[in-house]
Amino acid sequence: MIFLKKKQIPLNHFFPEGFVDIHSHLLPGIDDGAKNIDQSLALILEMRSNGIKNFITTPHVLGDVYPNSSTTIQTKLKEVKQALISKGISDVSLKAAAEYMLDEQFTELLEKDDILTLKDNFILVEMSYFNAPFNIYDLLFEIQLKGYKPILAHPERYNFYHHDINHYYNLKKAGCLFQLNLLSLTEHYGKGVQKTSEKLLKENLYDFVGTDTHHQHHLTILKKIGTKKNLKNIEHLLLNNTKLL
């Protein structure tokens, strides 16, 4: 028992000073994350107690399902920031970008240059869990032609890529950066996702991490990642995240 405990690291020692979570759904009522301002605050405060104090939160921008715009996102951001101030919470840095589904609406936003960036023109993108866009490589080219740097959210969660690691190498060659979902280190998304995340880590294909927090349950599971082994495997990625402050 004591031996097991020695391998554990509390999360507030796991995340380095200046760590920025670049993937979460903390703004109220605009996607499948926090439903209202109380939930937004509760999630932020619990993450703060786990050593995460800097957020670039990323609401979904997804066709008609979550038709968010820069305006809807900025409006909600203001609301949460004001709520934090009114609660006297001053040690949290909250910014917002988006998690863009690589669909037609995204292409339109890209043409209009109406894109929210994480920092230094990095943008967080995702694709459907069923298949990659038929024109994925054209899209990645267009994104970079516009001066943006694409970070693919949770590449380990796209089951259609699991059978062949070369898909991942091809995406990286095409200029795509990779963001590991921290919960993928557990069995939360299934064993296939966990195994793929281990493989991609071994191949050194990841660039950043994110919690992809939607709700309280995710934070309960997040506690499981606090182990010495995980810290050794992803410390370089945690430090990469500090550069996005």
Interface ranges with Fe ion (CB under 5 A): 99, 212
Residue 25 C-beta: closest distance to Fe ion, Å: 6
Closer CB to Fe ion, 97 or 143, in the complex: 97
Structure tokens at 131: 């298949």
**Nearest distance, CB of residue 92 and Fe ion, angstroms:** 20
Min separation Cβ 220 and Fe ion, Å: 18
Cβ 66 to Fe ion shortest distance, Å: 11
In angstroms, the Cα distances linking 212 to 196, 199, 217, 222 are 17, 20, 12, 10
Closer to Fe ion by CB, 54 or 58: give it.
58
Which positions ≥6 away from 110 have C-beta within 8 Å?
142, 143, 146, 148
CA 181 to chain centre: 6
- Alpha helical stretches, state H, the chain: 2-7, 11-14, 37-49, 70-86, 104-112, 136-145, 165-173, 191-202, 216-222, 228-242
Nearer of residues 98 and 110 to Fe ion, judged by Cβ = 98
Nearer to Fe ion, 17 or 153 (CB): 153
